[in-house]
Amino acid sequence: MKIILKTLLLLASFSVTACDSEASDSVPAHGLQTSYTRIDSCRETVDNANAAFSLLDCGKVGEHQVHITVQSPTVFTVRLKDDGTEAMSEFEELSGDLPLETGPAIEWYSEGENLRFMVFRLRWGTDEAPFQMDERLVISLVSADRICPLATVGVKSNRNANEKARQLIQNQLLATSECPKDVLSI
């Protein structure tokens, strides 16, 4: 498992920075601050070369401790811990039991110390072609007990996918405070 994780992290890594999230120098037009957690700078906490899973310590974003759990190529969970509460990502709602590949960094949007959104680049296939993976930016709402997907932006079908994701947050998702029944797909 550690070999799979190291391979995924190597493929996903583009730059190395400190474990703690770093703030952006600019504030987006919608008034939210952005910060980033680089996956390749997270520290493995499972001290067993034969472990079937990994637990990564990724430092903090604001007041929240960031941990990532990786088990097989299908389970990748981002966990935020703060003062006895824990919120976990729900990527399996989108990818099901299909193999999942992750991007190099998590982009966080916050209002002061209040995390609002998480944007993460993920790839997964279909039941018919599980390894023909489509790359998407997944925009998730961060609440006290959940990190649930709100929208996905296809990277191949949207030339400026990063900008499209930022526009979606600003123009459509900013007022969102609850997890939706259906995830918007652009």
Q: Is the pLDDT of residue 4 over 70?
A: no
Q: What pLDDT does residue 37 have?
A: 96
Q: What pLDDT does residue 66 have?
A: 96
Q: Is the pLDDT of residue 81 over 50?
A: yes
Q: Is the pLDDT of residue 98 over 90?
A: no
**Which of 72-81, 99-108, 114-123, 169-178 has the lowest average pLDDT?**
72-81
Q: What pLDDT does residue 30 have?
A: 60
Q: What pLDDT does residue 109 have?
A: 96
Q: Is the pLDDT of residue 145 over 60?
A: yes
Extract the tokens encoding 135.
């790359």
pTM for this prediction: 0.82
Question: What does the pLDDT look like over 24-76, one tens digit per residue?
Answer: 434 454 689 999 999 999 999 988 777 788 899 999 998 899 999 988 777 88
Nearest alpha carbon to residue 107 among 133, 75, 139, 136 = 139
**Which of 17-26, 55-64, 159-168 has the lowest average pLDDT?**
17-26
What integer is the mean pLDDT of 89-114? 90
What integer is the mean pLDDT of 152-161? 94
Q: What pLDDT does residue 152 have?
A: 96
Higher pLDDT, 77 or 12: 77
Q: What pLDDT does residue 100 have?
A: 87
Is there a contact between 89 and 147 (Cβ–Cβ < 8 Å)? yes
Alpha-helical runs (H) found in 30-176: 92-95, 161-168
- Distance between CA 35 and CA 59 in Å, rounded? 13
What integer is the mean pLDDT of 121-127? 90
What integer is the mean pLDDT of 67-95? 89
Q: What pLDDT does residue 131 have?
A: 83
What is the C-alpha R_g of the chain?
A: 16
**Dihedral angle of Cα 106, 110, 116, 119, to the nearest 10 degrees:** -20
